[in-house]
């Protein structure tokens, strides 16, 4: 019978041999393309989620422009006044306290998210640790930092879910006149406690116009439910396939380009259509998914609820 030696009783020579063995194993694994791809995917998912949750461009004004303060009208008909963004720099050109705090929170979050992914994302070479008690491995303070960062995604996830349902409604011909308003109403009707008010869900497009297709891809990958819960983003980090995520994001991006928005007006800003032509650089290495190959998020009884829809 082999008896494992207590780690605390190892000699310096034995510790050195264990370290050398780990280095040999790591060097061997790094020669495997599949292993390197697995690590790259994990890093990519952590970085893209951090960028989505801590989007500097949507929170800070880096280049103030007086012309931005001219009143315009967005899709809901509500006037936009001054920019809602915080200044990234003060009047002396120094970084603002708000942006310094933002960067500190972002750096702490991504460090902890990477640690979580390293421990809980299953691979061919690593058996994931039990996720039922994150406090065991991270501690209360770090868990709070991670949870606060995840909560930043609630409204963005709602926007992505509404885009997901709208795409399905449009491409599967679920009604005569598909619209984002109907998709938003249907989500609120199906999940009354899982989503905010209809007005807040619609207005959030102003803040998420640049990233909604990424959030729709996240909602699609979380097949159990498209209603929000903070743990859905940890499920995404632990289980998502990076290539599938990018293919879905590209599909929703191209949907936003091709969809015909009903009753659009050149005098009203349509945030759904706020995407440039062409294909972004981060989608060049993947092909889109066929729109009808994206799984339907609702069952037939839920789709039938559209008969009760009445425009406000």
Length of the chain (residues): 312
DSSP 269: B
**What is the band of 92 on the pLDDT scale with cuts at 50, 70, 90?**
confident
Q: What is the pTM of this model?
A: 0.83
User: Which tens digit of pLDDT belongs to each residue from 119-139?
Assistant: 888 776 666 677 666 555 678
* Mean pLDDT taken over the chain: 83
Measured distance CA(308)–CA(270) in Å, rounded: 25
Measured distance CA(275)–CA(258) in Å, rounded: 11
**What is the band of 246 on the pLDDT scale with cuts at 50, 70, 90?**
very high
User: Which tens digit of pLDDT belongs to each residue from 150-197?
Assistant: 999 999 999 999 999 999 999 999 998 999 999 999 999 998 877 777
Measured distance CA(247)–CA(240) in Å, rounded: 12
Q: At what angle do helices 231-239 and 212-221 cross, to 10 degrees?
A: 80
Measured distance CA(29)–CA(92) in Å, rounded: 51
Measured distance CA(122)–CA(99) in Å, rounded: 35
């Amino acid at each position: 019978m082999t008896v494992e030696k207590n780690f605390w009783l190892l000699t310096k020579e034995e510790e050195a041999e264990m370290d050398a063995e780990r280095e040999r194993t790591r060097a061997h694994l790094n020669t495997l393309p599949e292993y390197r791809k697995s690590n790259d995917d994990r890093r990519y998912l952590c970085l893209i989620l951090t960028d989505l949750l801590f989007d500097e461009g949507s929170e800070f004004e880096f280049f103030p422009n007086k012309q931005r303060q001219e009143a315009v009208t967005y899709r809901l008909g509500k006037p936009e006044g001054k920019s809602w963004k915080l200044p990234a720099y003060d009047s002396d050109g120094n970084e603002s306290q708000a942006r310094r705090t933002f960067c500190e929170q972002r750096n702490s979050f991504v460090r902890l998210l990477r640690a979580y992914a390293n421990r809980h994302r299953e691979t061919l070479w690593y058996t994931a640790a039990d996720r039922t008690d994150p406090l065991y491995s991270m501690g209360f303070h770090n868990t709070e930092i991670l949870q606060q960062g995840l909560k930043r995604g609630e409204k963005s996830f709602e926007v992505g879910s509404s885009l997901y349902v709208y795409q399905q409604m449009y491409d599967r011909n679920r009604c005569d006149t598909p619209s984002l308003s109907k998709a938003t109403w249907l989500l609120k009707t199906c999940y009354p406690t899982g989503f905010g008010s209809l007005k807040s869900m619609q207005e959030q497009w102003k803040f998420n116009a640049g990233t909604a297709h990424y959030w729709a891809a996240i909602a699609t990958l979380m097949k159990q439910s498209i209603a929000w819960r903070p743990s859905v983003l940890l499920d995404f980090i632990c289980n998502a396939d990076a290539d599938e995520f990018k293919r879905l994001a590209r599909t929703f991006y191209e949907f936003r380009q091709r969809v015909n928005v009903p009753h659009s007006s050149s005098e009203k800003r349509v945030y759904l259509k706020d995407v440039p032509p062409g294909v972004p650089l981060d989608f060049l290495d993947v092909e889109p998914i066929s729109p009808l190959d994206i799984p339907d998020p609702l069952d037939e009884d839920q789709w039938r609820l559209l008969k009760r829809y009445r425009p406000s």
